[in-house]
Amino acid sequence: MTAVVKQDQVAEHNATQQAGLDADYAALGGMLGRRGVDIEQLTAVAQTFAVALPSWGVGTGGTRFARFAGKGEPRNVVEKMEDCGVIHQLTRATPTVSLHFPWDRTDDPKALREQAASYGLGFDAVNSNTFQDQPGQQHTYKYGSLTAQSAEARAQAVAHNIECIELGKALGSKALTVWVGDGANFPGQHNLRGALERYLDSMRDIYGALPADWQVFIEHKLFEPAFYATTIADWGTSFACAQQLGEKAKCLVDLGHHAPNTNIEMIVARLAQFGKLGGFHFNDSKYGDDDLDSGSINPFQLFLVFNELADAAQRDAALQPAYMLDQSHNVTDPIESLMNSAAEVQRAFVQAALVDRAALRRYQEANDVLQSAQTLKQAYRTDVSPILAMARLRSGGAIDPVAVYRASGYREQAAVRRPAKAGASSSGIV
Ligand code: LRH
Ligand code: MN
């Protein structure tokens, strides 16, 4: 595997951190042991964790107001892969990348696949994009794409999704994520049922193009860019469409796509119960679709989502939702944010594995409300940082990825190697 950061720099760093980690790990091991929990078993669980990186997340993001370009930004998909390579080298928790077309357009998917493999990377779900018009595009998506009144625009959007499947097949991906911003800004702008009927017609054509071992993920979102009615606005609509389409259609939960205070963990439990939980876009938010770093605003919610996943996995061992990050890094170094976010999602995963489910069931069946709630809180309050660091170390990564990354001077070197393209927004998201 190609080491993007010199591996001896990682080893040197780990050597300076080892003794401290061993002490913290032993202390945590002792405490967990008194709870009847084997820390070694939990660390092995932590090492199985994997979350996909959003290719569009390694460039600096922005808002409709402005984007403040960062230093050494990736200017194309090859440089995005390099940045993803650093993140995986140091965290050992991000072995796949989710690509977005046409932002990650490539004429040589075979070469891209080989480059990614040299960094130990593969490809998770690919994302289509019919929420922007591309230069030279024949039919605008201004009034929708898969739901457009224009049959030409719908056919164009369907063709683009099928092209994404073909590219994904060449890259070894096994799923297509379809998020459309289609909707209306004013009551009366379109017929609400008509729009959904056109959506389903278009999705049936896309569904028909899926290889036998592929899935399509329907991603719902409450609003933006439509501000009155979004065609796929909530999990209910997404679920109904996935049922209509067939077994290869599942629902994707982006944590930022709900009304404030929505009980997202309950949506996860429902979708798992009905066999339609396809995957996640992890991020965090305080108000809207803020795409902030995972676990940065509401880490307890992230824990509760993984608690429902752990409960569902106990019932259905075959449940394998796709874990992906989907964030926009407007004021931090995207590589640092993605490394940190991968660790925060891994933290929730490990904390959920710490929940004493037998005790929880006993308290629930006894209507011992307080002890039921405390059983979850005990796991959430447990600082599993030594387990996450030991998992990274044992998987060949860095005990402290951000410290190694900063010491490596990778960003400064990238700034020299990648002179910014004047005016070009290289990350694709503004
Ligand atoms: C829409 C969304 C979707 C992506 C885009 C980058 O808000 O979450 O998943 O296509 O962000
Ligand atoms: Mn998303």
Q: How far is the CA of 53 from the centre of ligand 1 (A)?
A: 13
Q: How far is the CA of 120 from the centre of ligand 1 (A)?
A: 25
Give the rounded percent of residues in the chain with a pLDDT score beyond 90: 96
| Confidence tier at 422 by pLDDT (50, 70, 90) | low
Residues 420, 69: Cα–Cα separation, whole Å: 9
- What SS3 state is found at 148? coil
Q: Please state the rounded mean pLDDT for residues 251-272.
A: 98
Phi, psi at 177, each rounded to 5°: -100, 125
Give the rounded percent of residues in the chain with a pLDDT score beyond 70: 98
Say whether pLDDT at 425 is over 60: no
Burial label for 163, CB within 10 Å (0-12, 13-18, 19+), is middle
333 lines ligand 1 (CB under 6 A): no
What is the pTM (predicted TM-score) of this model? Answer: 0.97
The radius of gyration computed from the CA coordinates of the chain, to the nearest angstrom, equals 22
| Confidence tier at 430 by pLDDT (50, 70, 90) | very low
Q: What is the average pLDDT value for the chain, to the nearest integer?
A: 96
Consecutive H or E run containing 300: helix 299-315
DSSP letters, 89-109, are HHHS---EEE-BTTTT--S-H
Give yes or no for a contact between 148 and 156, defined as CB atoms under 8 angstroms apart: no
The tens digit of pLDDT for each residue in 264-278 reads 999 999 999 999 999
Say whether pLDDT at 186 is over 70: yes
DSSP letters, 309-340, are HHHHHHH-TT--PEEEE----SSS-HHHHHHH
| The pLDDT of residue 13 | 97
| The pLDDT of residue 279 | 98
The tens digit of pLDDT for each residue in 164-184 reads 999 999 999 999 999 999 999
Q: How far is the CA of 104 from the centre of ligand 1 (A)?
A: 14
Higher pLDDT, 423 or 158: 158
Q: Which residues pair with 277 in a beta bridge?
A: 251
| The pLDDT of residue 424 | 54
Say whether pLDDT at 426 is over 80: no
Consecutive H or E run containing 269: helix 264-273
Six-digit token string for 328 = 């926009």
Neighbours of 33 (CB within 10 A): 11
Ligand with minimal distance to 56 CA: 1
| The pLDDT of residue 388 | 98
Q: How far is the CA of 226 from the centre of ligand 2 (A)?
A: 15
| The pLDDT of residue 104 | 97
| The pLDDT of residue 400 | 98
Say whether pLDDT at 142 is over 90: yes
Burial label for 75, CB within 10 Å (0-12, 13-18, 19+), is middle
Q: Using DSSP, how many helices (H) and how many strands (E) does the chain show?
A: 15, 11
Q: Please state the rounded mean pLDDT for residues 18-44.
A: 98
127 lines ligand 1 (CB under 6 A): yes
The tens digit of pLDDT for each residue in 193-236 reads 999 999 999 999 999 999 999 999 999 999 999 999 999 999 99
